[in-house]
Amino acid sequence: MPEQADQLFIRGIAIFARHGVHQAEADLGQRFALDLTLELDTREAGRTDDYNRTVCYASVFQTVREIAETRRFKLIEALGETIADQLLAEQPRLTAVEIEIRKPSAPVAGIFDTIGLKIRRERPSE
């Protein structure tokens, strides 16, 4: 039975961005919320209490903000894929990332709390 990975998580990242298919979304912008779950083996960091043997969540947070706030995507699927690819490229200790993106003000005629996407991407096997 495979061993379950350890998880670091960041919940409730709030950003203001201009993602969306409609021109009004690009013009006006809207709020997005993101949750991240980062999978890695934390045993070495836990045993040594060494910051260099884990993932710097401040760096992860900055990567997410930079991508989400400075680039424009029509689809939250593209935003999520870009964030996942970048985190796996920048953070060699990560084995997988899970990203949930919520778009509470999506331009849909109806009453809802949020519309969103959850993806999980794993580091390719070597």
Give the predicted TM-score (pTM) of the model.
0.92
Indicate whether 97 belongs to any domain. Answer: yes
Indicate whether 1 belongs to any domain. Answer: no
Catalytic status, residue 103:
yes
Q: Which domain holds residue 92?
A: 6-122
Give, as one character, the DSSP assignment of residue 54: S
34, 39, 64, 103: the active-site residue: 103
Question: For position 62, which CATH number holds?
Answer: 3.30.1130.10
Domain count, the chain: 1
- Residue type present at position 84: A
Indicate whether 115 belongs to any domain. Answer: yes
Indicate whether 62 belongs to any domain. Answer: yes
Task: Note the pLDDT tens digit of each residue in 63-115.
Answer: 999 999 999 999 999 999 999 999 999 999 999 999 999 998 888 888 889 99
Q: State the Cα angle at 102 between 100 and 107, rounded to 5°.
A: 145
